[in-house]
Chains A and B, each alone.
Chain A
Amino acid sequence: MRLFLLLLTLWALPSLAVVEGYKYQFEDPNELARFNALAADLRCPKCQNQDLADSNAPVASDMRQKVYELMLEGKSNDEIVQYMVDRYGDFVKYTPSFKPETLLLWFGPGLLLLFGIALLVLVRKNQNRSTAPLTAKEQARLQALQEKSKL
């Protein structure tokens, strides 16, 4: 039973594999790791929420093949990513480059967080505001009201 449960935890493992990964043979395991990392960091332009490793779109297959060929040619990761960006645009990178158009992508979440914290602080401050003690006149009025409701 325990073994079965243990096995069950492995059900998501295939998601780590590269589609048609058997096609790409490397002698050096480091190169294989590099290929897998590249395939996970490049986005399929056709099925826009999948990386190259996950997608079985024809264009993703071509792009995997090209990544493999460029690796065999001895190209560096940066050169391979640049090759794809030159043809498909910045969109193919899951890690956006740092430039004016992408500032919002880089800092947007942080800004939202700051905004949330500021809002929280503001709300809390309002809640904690202590009320001033009643004046003698108000105290008398309160008492009168209480007397009245008792009747």
Chain B
Amino acid sequence: MNRTLLFLPLGIFLAIGVLFWIGLGKEDKTALPSPLIGKPFPQFILNTVESGQSTNTLPKEPVLVNVWATWCPTCKAEHEFLKQLAKEQGIKIVGINYKDDDAKAKQWLSAYGNPYLFNIADPQGQLGLELGVYGAPETFLVDSQGIIRGKHVGDLNPKVWETLQQTYKAMQ
């Protein structure tokens, strides 16, 4: 028998090892790639949480669109960092209050501070569905033309922002 063939199991082991190593190193194993990147932000007509007036546009400048809810503990965790981004770096953030209640949202914002330009109320989650949202918090990067340039599922924190920032800067 060919002696080199004896190294086959070792080779297979190494290949599988590398595969597992990559898998283990991934930060969030359940994050899915979004097919919406490069596509326009979906159309919507919804009320804002603040005024109750209907709106259908995002600001014509690069923004973060942050999907959050008062029932979402991770949203609470990222809230401080969002405030920091808004206050210290002047980053514009639009909120989507996802499958939530306006009164609770207002209470939450006055208690913990409001980093958002305004909040779009999406109590039924229709806009969430259009955006392929499957778990709050999710954050979209939308450029001045209204094109989605990036997406992050999970909380924003300094480490995540380090990579996301590149996409944000490219939108300027």
Main secondary structure of the interface of B (DSSP, over half): loop
Report the separation of the CA atoms of residues A31 and B135 in the bound assembly, to the nearest whole angstrom: 30
Indicate the size class of the contact surface on chain B: 10 to 19
Contact of A59 with B by CB under 8 A: yes
Report the separation of the CA atoms of residues A44 and B32 in the bound assembly, to the nearest whole angstrom: 12
Which residue in A62, A66, A86, A89 is a CB contact (below 8 Å) of B32?
Answer: A89
Contact of A88 with B by CB under 8 A: yes
CB distance from B118 to the nearest CB of A (A): 24
Contact of B111 with A by CB under 8 A: no
Supposing A62-B128, A87-B129, A126-B1 touch, asked if A45 and B134 sit within 8 A by C-beta, the answer is yes
- Give residues 1-54 of B contacting A (CB, 8 Å): 1, 30, 32-36
Contact of B158 with A by CB under 8 A: no
B32 contacts A87, C-beta separation under 8 Å: no
- Give residues 24-48 of A contacting B (CB, 8 Å): 44-46, 48
Please give me the residue from chain B that is nearest to A115 by CB atom.
B12
The 15 sampled A-B contact pairs (Cβ below 8 Å) are A45-B32, A46-B135, A58-B99, A58-B125, A59-B129, A59-B133, A59-B135, A62-B125, A62-B128, A87-B129, A87-B131, A87-B132, A88-B35, A88-B134, A91-B32
A contact residues vs B (CB 8 Å cutoff)? 44-46, 48, 58-59, 62-63, 66, 85-91, 126
B contact residues vs A (CB 8 Å cutoff)? 1, 30, 32-36, 99, 124-125, 128-135
